[in-house]
Every structure is written in C-alpha cells, then in structure tokens.
Structure 1
Amino acid sequence: MSAKHIQPNRHHYTKRTLWSGLLFGIGLAAFIDETIFHQLLRWHHFYDQSTTDVGLISDGFFHAFSWFATIGGLFLFADVRRRNGLSLTRWWGGVLTGAGAFQLYDGIIQHKLMGLHQIRYVENILPYDLVWNISAVLMIITGVFLLKRSSGKGEIFHA
C-alpha cells in the first residue's frame, strides 16, 4: 500500500481540529474587534499614534489578517470534517482559547505594553480594561476546559 493510502491516526485529526479552532477563534475575535470597536463605535484604530488616514490603513491590514485567520481555520475545519475526524467539543475549545488569547494579547501587549491604541479614550480606562481582559481570561478558561474534556477516551468524532 502506498503512503498516499495510509489513513492518519486520530491524533493527527485532533491536532488539525485544534488548529482549525484556534485560527478561527483568533480571526473571529479580531473581526469582531475591528468591526465593532474600530468601525461602528469608532473608539480606536489599530494604530492610533499617527493621523486618521494611517489609522484607517492599519485597520485595513488588521481586517485582512482577521479574514486570513478565519478562512484558514475554516479550510482546516472542512478538511477534518471531510475526513470524519472532527470533534466539535475540541473545535469549540480551540475557538474559545484562540479568541481569548487574541483578546488578552490585544489588551495587554497592544494596549498597554506597545501603546498602539486603547480600548477607548476616556478619563477612566480601568473599567474598560478590566472587562476586556477578564472576558478574555474567561474565554481561555472555558476553551481549555473544553479541550481537556475532549482529550479523554470518550471523545466523539462527527462526520
């Protein structure tokens, strides 16, 4: 039998399912951030340390990144599903972990350490920072819980 006909084991599918969820979660969180906070509410741009035009251009690159991550995650999802190796619990765990990790990275690294932008430019930013970062931590905790739950022997794979 050629190597082409050898079926990958379940470990291969669980890794691909996890990567699919992580990429989709990162892309989804970035897309929601960019759509709601950058475009609709106009609280900030991806890069606020220059002109509005530069901020809008940085938002365009950020938006493209979010779509590349989202589409990449969906391609992996479709591949694993087509091969009957999908665990929805593991995928949702990856989505929540990826979304929470992106949001926590954004809230700590981009907002505070790099100073690219703030959530909102108000006198008391602390409530916004707390809600942003605590919700990120809650997503990560829920995602890791689902990932641990899906790694047991009773994992169900869906066609």
Structure 2
Amino acid sequence: MSIPHPKHANPRRTLLASVLIGIGCMAALDEIVFHQLLAWHHFVDRGTAFALASDGVLHAGELVLLVVGFFVMIELHGAGRQAPGYRGPGFLLGAGGFQVFDGVVDHKLLRLHQVRYVDDVWLYDVAWIGAGAIILAIGWLLLRRARRGRASSQR
C-alpha cells in the first residue's frame, strides 16, 4: 500500500528533520539511561569533573538537534510540505546512525568511553552496535518503501 504524497511535499527536508529528531532522541536515551541512571559511563571518561562536563555538552547538543528538528518539522507541517512516509524512516536512520557511530567511533576508534567497564566488554559492544545496526537497517528499508511509493504516485 503506497501513501499518497502531496504535490508540494518536501521529502528531503522531512527526512532531514526526522533524522535530527532521531539523533537527538537516541542521544537523550543514551545520556539519561546509561550516563545518569545506570552510571555506566560518561561521554568522555577522563576524570570526574571533565566527565560530567562532557555529559553536559552531549546533553546540550541533543537538545539543539531536537529543537532544530522539531522547528523544521513544524514549519513543513504549517506549509503543508511534510512528506508522509518519510518521518519514521528518518527517525530510525537518525537513531540507529547515532547508535552505530557512538559504538564504532566514540567507543572503539576514539576510546572516549566504553558501554560498560567489565571484563567482557565485547558482549556489550556487539549488543550496542548490533541494536543500532538493526534500527538503521529498518529505517533504510522503510525509506526505500517511501521512495517507491513516491515514485509510483508521480506516474
């Protein structure tokens, strides 16, 4: 079943706004659950004061992404240019992309922090990066479906 697209819909901006919201939500989930509630790690684990400050920077960044994403989405909605079928995929691409980037770049390449400081950290890495990859794959599949629906509605 394809979703009809308004004539003046803007899929690219709808996708961008959704990706920003997805990144912001996943960063918030990471920061609230793993940094604050479970206290497994900080954004940069290099001493207590700096670690806390780095969490504050992460929190500020996630808020900026959420605000910008929602403002763009509200603007698109008000102008009747929101592209149906692109919000969910964008959200999942942003959330999964953040998770994979965090796991690969922040955890492994830059070594800013680990998911959790335990002997068998690889189990946590597999779960962390694997969950992100699954979310990313679902977002990509839904985006392909949305693009096919748009192409068939323009014929």
TM-score (norm 2): 0.89
Q: Which residue of 1 aligns with 2:15?
A: 18
State the Cα distance separating 1:154 from its structure 2 match.
Answer: 4.9
In structure 1, C-alpha distance between the alignment counterparts of 2:135 and 2:72, rounded to whole Å: 22
Instruction: Say yes or no: does 1:62 pair with 2:55.
Output: no
- Gap regions ≥5 residues in structure 1: 1-7
State the Cα distance separating 1:152 from its structure 2 match.
Answer: 2.5
State the Cα distance separating 1:150 from its structure 2 match.
Answer: 1.0
For residues 60-114 of structure 1, give each alpha carbon's deviation from its aligned partner in whole angstroms, at most 9, with x where no partner exists: 0000000100111111111111122223421110000011111100000000010
Q: Secondary structure at the match of 1:47?
A: coil
State the Cα distance separating 1:32 from its structure 2 match.
Answer: 0.5
- CA-based RMSD: 1.5
Q: Which residue of 2 aligns with 1:134?
A: 130
State the Cα distance separating 1:119 from its structure 2 match.
Answer: 0.3
Q: Say which is worse superposed, 144-153 or 71-80, in terms of deviation.
A: 144-153
Cα contact 1:46–1:117 (8 A) shared by 2: yes
Determine which of 35, 39, 52 is the counterpart of 1:42: 39
Cα contact 2:8–2:81 (8 A) shared by 1: no
- Gap regions ≥5 residues in structure 2: 1-6
Determine which of 95, 98, 113 is the counterpart of 1:99: 95
> How many residues in Structure 1 have an aligned counterpart in Structure 2?
145
Cα contact 2:95–2:132 (8 A) shared by 1: yes
Q: Secondary structure at the match of 2:86?
A: helix
In structure 2, C-alpha distance between the alignment counterparts of 1:61 and 1:84, rounded to whole Å: 35
In structure 2, C-alpha distance between the alignment counterparts of 1:60 and 1:122, rounded to whole Å: 25
Cα contact 1:87–1:150 (8 A) shared by 2: no
Q: Which residue of 2 aligns with 1:145?
A: 141
Cα contact 1:47–1:58 (8 A) shared by 2: yes
In structure 2, C-alpha distance between the alignment counterparts of 1:103 and 1:109, rounded to whole Å: 10
In structure 1, C-alpha distance between the alignment counterparts of 2:19 and 2:150, rounded to whole Å: 22
Cα contact 1:30–1:66 (8 A) shared by 2: yes
